[in-house]
């Protein structure tokens, strides 16, 4: 079963994959293909409405993948970002969020670096320099914000002690949920 999504300039075929899951979900792959993953007995009308309601998100995600400029065949994880546009987009967002949360948290930081790291979403040096993964471009903004708060919290606690997690929780009460969702994204 497929759903045909017609946008202003293209037609996107979306296979509907039924499984034992309890929620509706959409997946946009690196090559621009889109899958809808749905519960076994979900009525077609609800599935179609769900896809229509997420049309803007689907288009945006497909554009983000094309900004990455990656043509690898092995896509078990998120690809590195190779285009200037993709790197500039995620850098601009992260710099704004670092500035915003640093003010709220009452902390200072050094320089911000962006890299295509293979194992980390971010890091904070003892000098207060922050490093973020360009691949955060592919992650929902609320999860990027979690990474920002996590790294800024290291300016108060340079460890992962209870005191550190208390700092994170103070500025992001739902951090556990966000952290869990972030684990669904694989860097490589």
Task: Judge whether 32 and 59 are in contact, CB under 8 Å.
Answer: no
Q: What pLDDT does residue 73 have?
A: 38
Three-state SS letters, 47-60: HHHHHHHCHHHHHH
Q: What pLDDT does residue 155 have?
A: 96
Q: d(Cα 153, Cα 124) in Å, to the nearest integer?
A: 9
Q: d(Cα 51, Cα 161) in Å, to the nearest integer?
A: 42
**Mean pLDDT of the 18-47 span:** 87
Q: What angle do CA 59, 188, 182 make, to 5 degrees?
A: 65
- β-pairing, 11-19 vs 34-39, is parallel
Other C-beta atoms within 10 Å of 99: how many?
12
* Residue 76 pLDDT class (50, 70, 90 cuts): very low
Q: d(Cα 176, Cα 47) in Å, to the nearest integer?
A: 29
Whether the full predicted model's pTM is greater than 0.75, yes or no, is no
* Residue 74 pLDDT class (50, 70, 90 cuts): very low
Q: Is 137 helix (H, G, I), strand (E, B) or coil?
A: helix
The token duo for 5 is 């999504």
Q: What pLDDT does residue 68 have?
A: 61
């Amino acid at each position: 079963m497929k759903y045909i999504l017609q946008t202003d300039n293209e037609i996107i075929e979306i296979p509907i994959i039924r499984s034992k899951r309890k929620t509706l979900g959409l997946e946009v792959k690196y090559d621009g293909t889109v899958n809808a993953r749905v519960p076994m007995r979900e009525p077609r009308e609800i599935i179609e409405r769900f896809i229509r309601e997420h049309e803007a998100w689907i288009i945006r995600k497909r554009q983000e993948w094309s900004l990455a400029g990656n043509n690898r065949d092995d896509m078990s994880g998120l690809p590195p970002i190779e285009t200037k546009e993709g790197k500039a987009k995620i850098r601009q967002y992260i710099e704004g969020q670092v500035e915003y949360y640093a003010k709220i948290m009452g902390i200072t930081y050094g320089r911000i670096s962006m890299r295509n790291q293979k194992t980390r979403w971010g890091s904070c040096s003892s000098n207060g320099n922050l490093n973020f993964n360009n691949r955060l471009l592919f992650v929902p903004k609320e999860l990027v914000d979690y990474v920002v708060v996590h790294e800024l919290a290291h300016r108060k606690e340079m460890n992962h002690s209870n005191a550190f997690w208390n700092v994170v929780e103070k500025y992001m009460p739902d951090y556990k949920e966000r952290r869990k969702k972030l684990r669904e994204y694989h860097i490589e």
